[in-house]
Amino acid sequence: MNKLEEEYEEIQPKIYAFFYAKTGNQATAQDLCHDTFYEACKNIASFNGVSTLSTWMFSIAVNLLKKHYRKNKYQRSLMQKLSLMPETEIHTLEELAEIKEDTKKLLYHISKLEDSAREIVLLRIYGELSFAEIGVLIGKSENYARVNFHRLKLRIQKAMELTL
């Protein structure tokens, strides 16, 4: 067995266990573990030996887990917001159906945005991040995030009005 296979045999169970403990889902843990090793193989040239291979692999794993949580947080957050609405605001099933339909329309129009624009909107609406935080995540200024979100919000509102 060569050195790389030995390292894999040692690190893989630890990374899988990390993901399983964090997600509580075997399939998700397996997928994230696979993605970690894929990213490591793809970027092995960037491994400079300052840290151990295990530390480097876990930094990839942590970043992938954060990405996984961000991606899934939007859907969970939306469902949570709907479930936490006070019953006094929703009087009938028709009102609840209308809210769900509006939410579907909103998500549809957001999904039609280009990737970078969609990221700004989702981080602001569902991630509830500040414009400064969004700027850091996308590598732009706070003002860039603020102005683009405002423009995108207007574009989505106009699109939703046209579909009424």
131, 155: one domain: yes
Question: What's the rounded Cα separation, in Å, for the pair 24 and 81?
Answer: 23
Q: Are 118 and 110 in contact (CB under 8 A)?
A: yes
State the pLDDT at residue 152. Answer: 92
Distance of CA 92 to the CA centre of its chain: 33
Domain of residue 140, CATH code: 1.10.10.10
Domains: count for the chain: 2
The pLDDT tens digits for 96-123 are 666 677 777 888 888 888 888 888 888 8
Exposure letters 99-114 (e unless 16+ CB within 10 A, then b): eeeeeeebeebbeebe
In this structure, is residue 80 part of a structural domain?
A: no
Q: Distance between CA 33 and CA 61 in Å, rounded?
A: 7
pLDDT tens across 116-156, in order? 888 888 888 776 778 888 888 888 999 999 999 999 999 98
The verdict on 100 and 153 lying in the same domain is yes
Region 20-27: mean pLDDT is: 84
Helices (H), 43-92: 53-84
Per-residue pLDDT tens digits for 41-70: 898 888 888 877 888 888 898 899 888 888
Q: Give residue 40's domain range.
A: 1-72
* Same domain for 146 and 99: yes
What CATH number should be reported for the domain holding residue 11?
1.10.1740.10
When pLDDT is averaged across residues 3-19 and rounded to a whole number, the result is 82
User: Are residue 53 and residue 25 in the same domain, yes or no?
Assistant: yes
Higher pLDDT, 160 or 154: 154
Residue 63 shares a structural domain with residue 29 = yes
Q: Would you say residue 88 has pLDDT above 70?
A: no
Residue 1: pLDDT above 80? no
143 and 115 fall within a common domain: yes
Q: Does some domain include residue 94?
A: yes
Q: Going by C-beta distance under 8 Å and a sequence separation of 6 or more, which residues neighbour residue 136?
A: none
pTM for the model stands at: 0.47
Residue 77 lies in a domain: no
Question: Over the chain, what is the mean pLDDT?
Answer: 80
Q: Is the pLDDT of residue 16 over 70?
A: yes
| CB 121, CB 156: distance < 8 Å | yes
Residue 118 lies in a domain: yes
Is the per-residue pLDDT at 38 higher than 70? yes
Radius of gyration of the chain (CA): 21
Residues 30 and 66 in one domain: yes
